[in-house]
Amino acid sequence: MATIVQKFGGTSVGDVTKIKRAAERVKREHEAGNRVVTVVSAMGKSTDTLVQLANEISDSPDRREMDMLLSTGEQVTISLMVMALKEMGIDAVSLTGWQAGIKTEPVHQNARITDIDTERLETYLGEGKVVIVAGFQGMSESGEITTLGRGGSDTTAVAIAAALKAESCSIFTDVTGVYTCDPRVAKHARQLQSISYDEMLELANLGAGVLHPRAVEFAKNYSLPLIVRSSMEDVEGTIVEEDVSMEQNLIVRGLAFEGAVTKITIERLPNRFHAMSDVFSLLAESGIDVDIIIQQMTGENEMNVSFSLHTQELPEALKLLENNHEQLGYQGIRHEDSLAKVSIVGSGMVSNPGVAANMFQALSDHEIEVKMVSTSEIKVSVVVPEAKMATAIDVLHSTFELDASEKPKVTV
């Protein structure tokens, strides 16, 4: 008897009709003889509604109370899902995150899972019940309700699958799988049959929203096959796994992008051992997430340091740097906004030199200026004018043959 873990996101359980459709899929797995745990998100935009209510009361809601509030969204879904299954004649039980044994760090609104006590899950599964678990939530050692941050339900599902040593974990969403790029932006984007953990992790970190990076990390660490598939259509999905057997000829396997990027340049910063540490420690202590960093020597004793961040972080970053002007000792600050980051990802880059050169040539041929560059073994990211982002995506998608005719599909 196989153990199967499923996860249905907010759009997949957005109303009663969709909850019933998801329940039919759960029923099918159960009647196939599998032990089934299903993780669900809050219905549709209900979490956004709860956040809005909190903001109407306070400009800065207490983080503990926000977790108390936001955790209620998933509790609505698990109850309705179990009611739907019982109407179909399936014995099921709903569990909150803490009832399911999910233990987390003592951090509110962005906690990490530290352990899962599977005793209660195993008991209900042993009784032949389908278990419906609230995603996105857990409990700290001190008994505080916590939430896992953006994409937390994905992480819940994968962590439970790993703890139960499940055969696989299926993430049901509003797309049919993982695409070479967001099909809403790249008109010739196509679905991949499979993708490696490392490639998926890079794409997720670079802005592809189909899976949360933390969930992919869990799957990779436990060698757990992830399947991304549609909750609306009965079609093949995309397998995220260690060794990708299909489409090995693709050097680049996907594109990711992110708008609203700003470049900040600190001019004539003293060239001393701790200068870079002082700047970026200051930003980190204030929770400002810095991305691409470039250092340029302007003289024997001075340098310019540029870095990118999300535009919404700009006011706080500028204020922080200006307030510490004397300590840091720089001569000036300038910034450039209305930028975007476009990235190519593929494990084939490791053994194929010239990928970056092809990327830069393609962008140059279409007069797309590159402002910043960042590389790793399997990705190259460039910062370009935001007005040119869509063009850059189409150009690179074509350059690396990602919009070629679709390969034969594999049933999963």
Q: Is the pLDDT of residue 85 over 70?
A: yes
Give all strands (DSSP E) within 237-378, no chain letters.
238-241, 254-270, 290-297, 302-310, 332-345, 372-376
Q: Residue 319: what are its φ and ψ, rounded to 5°?
A: -60, -40
Q: Is the pLDDT of residue 69 over 50?
A: yes
**Confidence band of 409 (pLDDT split at 50, 70, 90):** very low
SS3 call for 227? strand
Cβ proximity of 47 and 54 under 8 Å: no
Q: What is the pLDDT of residue 104?
A: 97
Mean pLDDT of 294-320: 93
The model's pLDDT over 388-400, given as tens digits with 9 standing for 90+, comes to 999 999 999 999 9
Cα 152 to Cα 212: distance, rounded to the nearest angstrom: 8
CATH architecture of 3-174: 3-Layer(aba) Sandwich (3.40)
The model's pLDDT over 339-383, given as tens digits with 9 standing for 90+, comes to 999 999 998 888 888 999 999 999 999 999 999 999 999 999 999
**Confidence band of 247 (pLDDT split at 50, 70, 90):** low
The sign of the dihedral angle between the CA atoms of 105, 215, 110, 75 is negative
Cα 273 to Cα 33: distance, rounded to the nearest angstrom: 63
Q: What's the CA angle centered on 114, arms 159 and 256, to 5 degrees?
A: 55
Q: What is the pLDDT of residue 183?
A: 87
Tokens of 194: 């499979």
Q: Strand 302-310 vs strand 254-270: parallel, antiparallel, or unpaired?
A: antiparallel
Residue 207 CB burial class (10 angstroms; 0-12, 13-18, ≥19) = middle
Q: Strand 113-116 vs strand 102-104: parallel, antiparallel, or unpaired?
A: antiparallel
Q: Is the pLDDT of residue 248 over 60?
A: no
Higher model confidence: residue 352 or residue 198? 198
Q: Strand 379-385 vs strand 372-376: parallel, antiparallel, or unpaired?
A: antiparallel
Cβ proximity of 352 and 345 under 8 Å: no
Cα 213 to Cα 85: distance, rounded to the nearest angstrom: 31
3-state helix, strand, coil in the chain (%, to 5): 35, 30, 35
To which residue do tokens 């599964």 refer? 125
Q: What is the pLDDT of residue 134?
A: 98
Cα 180 to Cα 253: distance, rounded to the nearest angstrom: 6
Work out the angle between the directed axes of helices 16-31 and 63-87 (0-180°, nearest 10).
Answer: 60
What separation, in Å, do the N-terminal and C-terminal C-alpha atoms of the chain show? 18
Asked whether this chain's domains 3-174 and 255-399 adopt the same fold, the reply is no
- Alpha helices of 88-146 — where are they, by DSSP H? 119-126
Q: Strand 137-140 vs strand 102-104: parallel, antiparallel, or unpaired?
A: parallel
SS3 call for 129? coil
Q: What is the pLDDT of residue 369?
A: 97
Q: Is the pLDDT of residue 269 over 90?
A: yes
Q: What is the DSSP letter of 407?
A: P
Cβ proximity of 12 and 173 under 8 Å: yes
The model's pLDDT over 102-138, given as tens digits with 9 standing for 90+, comes to 999 999 998 999 999 999 999 999 999 999 999 999 9
Residue spans per domain, the chain? 3-174, 255-399
Q: What order of strands is seen across the sheet that includes strand 332-345?
A: 290-297, 302-310, 254-270, 332-345, 379-385, 372-376
Say which CATH topology domain 255-399 has. Answer: VC0802-like (3.30.2130)
Residues paired with 254 in a beta bridge: 345
Non-local (6+) Cβ contacts of 292 within 8 A are 307, 308, 341, 372, 373, 374, 381, 383
**Confidence band of 171 (pLDDT split at 50, 70, 90):** very high
Cα 191 to Cα 169: distance, rounded to the nearest angstrom: 19
Q: What is the pLDDT of residue 210?
A: 85
Residue 91: which of 13, 26, 1 has the closest Cα? 26
